[in-house]
Structure 1
Amino acid sequence: MGSDERPRWNHNIHLHRVVLAAIPSGARSALDVGSGDGMLAAELRDVISEVVAIDLDGDVLRRAAVEHSGIVWVRDDVMT
């Protein structure tokens, strides 16, 4: 990141640490619903062996899959 660029921030990113702190000891899998660009899924993958990320936007999931490996990316509606 260049000196003139600020780190990404939004409310979801701000709450990643809350989600990560709530992971139960011994957790082996996680589901990231509405994963978008996969930032939380990638952080989850750093501490949990099996991460599935679901989102409706196929384009954003394709970009996330290129950037973050070791995650199962699903294009679908979690409600169905």
Structure 2
Amino acid sequence: MQLGTRWPAGSEAPASVPAALRPAIAEVEARALRQAQGPRSWWTLTWLEGRPIAELDAGWEVFQDASGEVIARPFQD
């Protein structure tokens, strides 16, 4: 795994965040931050097997699967 970067939810994503993930990140923020209570959430961008994964510490992940499809979902146990 290659560590990427962190940024606060609700702010502009860094240039290192792939363009393919940005619309899904904005959609998650619209849903998750609207319901958020408490401290500000942060995104963490990492890379696994060459694919980007953005995780919001409020319980969401946005990633590209092997076929290139972007998936946004709550964390799964």
> What TM-score do the two structures reach when normalised by structure 2?
0.26
Q: Which has the larger radius of gyration?
A: 1
Greater fraction of residues in helix: 1
> What TM-score do the two structures reach when normalised by structure 1?
0.25
